């Protein structure tokens, strides 16, 4: 046990020493102004390079992914219908669809599906 603790301590200390030496010997300067400026064919850029995207587009994409995953969950339910009782399958499937519809109506009520604004 002592040998294992000693080897772990030595390996941790050795890796910390190598990381410290690599940091000290690194030629990379954090505040190098020439490398930090944008470059467009030898000219300074006319516009900001990063245009902020619409949050509405992001929300529509997330909603699409959520419903896409739910469709992938619904597809195998036809196979499970053969192996389970019909009443239990119907109750479970109806409950799942009800949760999906409630989520859809909630998104609609909150205005996340309104494309015009």
Q: What is the pLDDT of residue 103?
A: 85
Cβ contacts of residue 49 below 8 Å, gap of 6+?
38
67-to-25, 58, 107 alpha-carbon distances in Å: 51, 14, 12
Q: What is the pLDDT of residues 84-110, one digit of tens each?
A: 888 988 898 899 889 888 988 888 888
- The alpha-carbon radius of gyration of the chain (Å, integer) is 29
Q: Is 105 exposed, middle or buried (0-12, 13-18, 19+ CB in 10 A)?
A: exposed
Residue tagged 């509405």 (tokens): 56
Q: What pTM was estimated for this model as a whole?
A: 0.46
Assess whether pLDDT exceeds 80 at residue 32.
no
Could you tell me the residue ranges of all domains in the chain? 2-27, 55-110
pLDDT for 52-89, tens place per residue? 777 777 777 888 888 888 888 888 888 888 888 889 88
- For residues 5-14, give the mean pLDDT: 92
């Amino acid at each position: 046990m002592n040998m294992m603790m000693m080897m772990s301590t030595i390996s941790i200390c050795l890796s910390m020493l190598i990381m410290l030496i690599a940091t000290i010997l690194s030629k990379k300067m954090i505040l190098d102004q020439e490398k930090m400026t944008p470059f467009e064919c030898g000219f300074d850029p006319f516009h900001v390079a990063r245009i902020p995207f619409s949050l509405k587009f992001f929300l529509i994409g997330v909603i699409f992914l959520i419903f896409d995953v739910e469709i992938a969950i619904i597809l195998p339910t036809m196979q499970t219908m053969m192996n389970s009782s019909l009443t239990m399958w119907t109750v479970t499937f109806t409950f799942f669809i009800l949760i999906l519809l409630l989520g859809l109506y909630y998104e609609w009520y909150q205005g996340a599906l309104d494309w015009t604004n």
